[in-house]
């Protein structure tokens, strides 16, 4: 994919690195990539980490080559308390302003309610009207959150992240010291790396990230 305007829409500040960090790094080489995050990082019980998480995200955005971060102020794990219209309007406003050709967002059948709400809102905001600039919509996975959804997972796009994209991804994730857990938790460096190796084994790559292509016109 080259010379595209790409928008990545996530619920949380660390989702892009954990879910598609290698692919994001590759996309930034030859495309204009923006990141829209909905929540401010104030995890319940650990609200004090919000500032550190935002600072870390800004560091990763700069290093990966994302052109602009659009950070919103909704609270973590409380998106279900917000009016869906407010979430849809936030996403629609960004789409209208930046006219992306391609959007990446969360897998629609995730166990994490925030992820599902954002995914649903993106689907509303990208309805295939003639006036919509969006020609492609992809959904990415989050370790643990996607698998623990216990729904059928239909992934039809595999992105090779072997080599430097994987190295950049793992470096970016390692900065989120307040969010990482010890192995064998899915949100641990060892298991994220093992997951990428497993997905690579399904398609002939050393490491891969998987996506669901929702539509392409």
Q: For 57-77, what is each residue's pLDDT tens digit?
A: 999 999 999 999 999 999 999
Query: Cα–Cα distance between 116 and 92 in angstroms, integer?
Result: 17
Are the beta carbons of 157 and 212 closer than 8 angstroms? yes
Per-residue model confidence (pLDDT) at position 24 = 98
CATH class, domain 5-159+210-216, is alpha beta
CA proximity to 8, closest of 88, 63, 89, 68: 68
Q: How far is CA 194 from CA 12, 25, 183, 188, in A?
A: 23, 19, 11, 10
> Which pTM was predicted?
0.97
Burial class (CB in 10 A: 0-12, 13-18, 19+), 27: buried
Per-residue model confidence (pLDDT) at position 93 = 97
Q: How far is CA 62 from CA 5, 21, 46, 122, in A?
A: 17, 13, 26, 25
Q: Write out the two tokens for 47.
A: 């609200």
User: What residue ranges of the chain have pLDDT lower than 50?
Assistant: none
Per-residue model confidence (pLDDT) at position 75 = 97
């Amino acid at each position: 994919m080259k010379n595209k305007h790409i928008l990545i829409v996530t619920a949380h500040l660390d989702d892009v690195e954990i879910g598609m960090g290698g692919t994001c790094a590759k996309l930034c080489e030859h495309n204009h990539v923006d990141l829209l995050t909905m929540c401010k990082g104030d995890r319940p019980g650990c609200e004090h980490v919000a500032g550190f998480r935002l600072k870390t995200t800004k560091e990763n955005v700069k290093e990966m080559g994302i052109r602009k971060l659009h950070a919103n102020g909704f609270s973590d794990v409380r998106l279900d308390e917000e009016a869906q219209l407010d979430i849809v309007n936030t996403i629609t406003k960004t789409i209208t302003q930046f006219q992306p050709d391609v959007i990446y967002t969360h897998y629609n059948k995730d166990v994490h309610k925030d992820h599902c709400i954002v995914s649903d809102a993106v689907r509303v905001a990208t309805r295939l009207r003639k006036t919509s600039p969006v020609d492609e919509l992809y959904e990415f996975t989050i370790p643990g959150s996607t698998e623990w959804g216990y729904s059928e997972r239909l992934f039809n796009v595999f992105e090779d992240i072997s080599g430097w994209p994987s190295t950049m991804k793992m470096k970016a994730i390692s900065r989120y010291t307040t969010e990482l857990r010890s192995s064998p938790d899915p949100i641990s460096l060892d298991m994220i790396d093992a997951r990428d190796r497993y997905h690579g084994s399904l398609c002939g790559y050393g490491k891969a990230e998987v996506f669901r292509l929702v539509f392409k016109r």
